[in-house]
A and B are shown apart, each in its own frame.
Chain A
Amino acid sequence: MKFTVIKNLQKDSAMSLILKGLLFFILLYVVSDIFVMKSSFGISAEAVSSTLFGSEEAYIDPINESSFLEFWHTQIFFIMMILLTLSAVFIRVAKRSRTVLTNILMISALISLISLPLAFYTSKFFIDIYVMGYFLWHIVAIYMIFYSFWKLNARSV
């Protein structure tokens, strides 16, 4: 977290490069997450629904509670760490839109994580909210990564 107190990141070429490397790996994670989720849990409302509740037509068994809780627990940890790191970099380099975008990123991620167990335990209605929240935080995260890259290449941040 040393980068949060460096006055001019552009002049500190080593720290700037380290942050670019970190951002690149966060980008890789966020993009890969979409592909992994597509092939495992599902990223559309229908796919998520058949993972959670099964599908007779596609011969898919519903996920058991134990596996679901493990999946949810793991997701919370990874998302919180990724988003904390990304928001710390973004807040350091961005000026005007940082509060709004950080709020959108965090709230959409929290909504998607909270709506997942609500969908599993209460109503299928929350699946749509989960999918919307999931894509919103991914889109905002990707925007924040590219914006941070751009700002790190700018004259001074």
Chain B
Amino acid sequence: MQEAYKLSILYYLAFSLLLIFSAIMLFEHKIGFSFSGVLEYYTGNEEKFIPAQSVGGILKIVLPHIFVFGLFAMVLLHFLVFADLRYKKNITLLVYTAFIVALLEIFTPFMIIGGFEFFAYIKLFSFFTFLTLLLYISWLLFQSITKE
């Protein structure tokens, strides 16, 4: 790979870190990292004057994220091909897990407002797993690029 392209990918990784950091800040501010926080955000709490989310309201947030999660994961994962990591066995597992966890992260709010409170745990789990996977992929890329 050309040196200049490596530079471009390294900066993309830096932006990715910033995006992940802003996502954590936004999640913490709007929802919170506790089971009750997630539940209250989606199903509401009369005592705390938190309105319940509607299907339409969730869809408004979910819609851009469907595209963005797919695109962001695809761009990051396809750099693995350039970094010659595509033939490693666990990369296939990584790709599957990244997209499945992203799907869970996006669609669990619908289950929560549908009365399945347990999905609040899955929401938290999938959020952190997705971000951890993105960080792991970024680390793999960083290692591969700086080693070459």
A residues within 8 Å of B by Cβ?
A: 1, 4, 65-66, 69-70, 72-73, 76-77, 79-81, 83-84, 87-88, 91, 98-99, 102-103, 106, 109-110, 113-114, 117
User: Which chain B residue lies CB-closest to A84?
Assistant: B12
B16 in the interface (beta carbon within 8 A): yes
Cβ contacts under 8 Å, A98 to chain B: 4
B72 in the interface (beta carbon within 8 A): yes
B residues within 8 Å of A by Cβ?
A: 2-5, 7-8, 11-12, 14-16, 18-19, 22-23, 25-26, 29-30, 68, 71-72, 75, 78
Query: In whole angstroms, what is the CA distance A4 to B9 when docked?
Result: 13
- Is A81 touching B71 in the complex (CB atoms < 8 A)? yes
Cβ contacts under 8 Å, B75 to chain A: 81, 84
Query: In whole angstroms, what is the CA distance A117 to B87 when docked?
Result: 40
User: Which chain B residue lies CB-closest to A80?
Assistant: B15
14 further A-B pairs in the complex, CB-CB below 8 A; given A76-B19, A113-B18: A66-B30, A69-B22, A69-B25, A69-B29, A70-B26, A80-B12, A84-B12, A91-B2, A91-B7, A102-B4, A102-B11, A109-B15, A110-B14, A113-B15
User: Which chain A residue lies CB-closest to B68?
Assistant: A77
User: Which chain A residue lies CB-closest to B16?
Assistant: A80
- Is A76 touching B3 in the complex (CB atoms < 8 A)? no
- Is A73 touching B5 in the complex (CB atoms < 8 A)? no
Q: A73-B19, A77-B19, A77-B72 are in contact. Are A103 and B7 (CB under 8 A)?
A: yes
Q: Give the residue of B5, B7, B22, B71 whose beta carbon is less than 8 angstroms from that of A76.
A: B22
Query: In whole angstroms, what is the CA distance A91 to B11 when docked?
Result: 14
Query: In whole angstroms, what is the CA distance A14 to B111 when docked?
Result: 47
Cβ contacts under 8 Å, B3 to chain A: 99
- Is A99 touching B7 in the complex (CB atoms < 8 A)? yes
Query: In whole angstroms, what is the CA distance A80 to B20 when docked?
Result: 12
Cβ contacts under 8 Å, A72 to chain B: 22
The 10 A-B residue pairs with the shortest CB-CB distance in the complex, in nearest-first order? A80-B15, A106-B11, A91-B4, A73-B22, A69-B26, A87-B8, A76-B19, A84-B12, A98-B4, A76-B18
Q: How far is the CB of A1 from chain B (nearest CB, A)?
A: 8
Q: A77-B68, A80-B19, A110-B15 are in contact. Are A88 and B25 (CB under 8 A)?
A: no
- Is A88 touching B5 in the complex (CB atoms < 8 A)? yes
Query: What are 17 of the A-B contact pairs (CB < 8 Å)?
Result: A66-B30, A69-B25, A69-B26, A69-B30, A73-B23, A73-B26, A83-B11, A84-B8, A87-B11, A98-B4, A99-B7, A102-B4, A102-B11, A109-B15, A110-B15, A113-B15, A117-B22
Cβ contacts under 8 Å, A80 to chain B: 12, 15-16, 18-19
- Is B15 touching A76 in the complex (CB atoms < 8 A)? yes
Cβ contacts under 8 Å, A81 to chain B: 71, 75
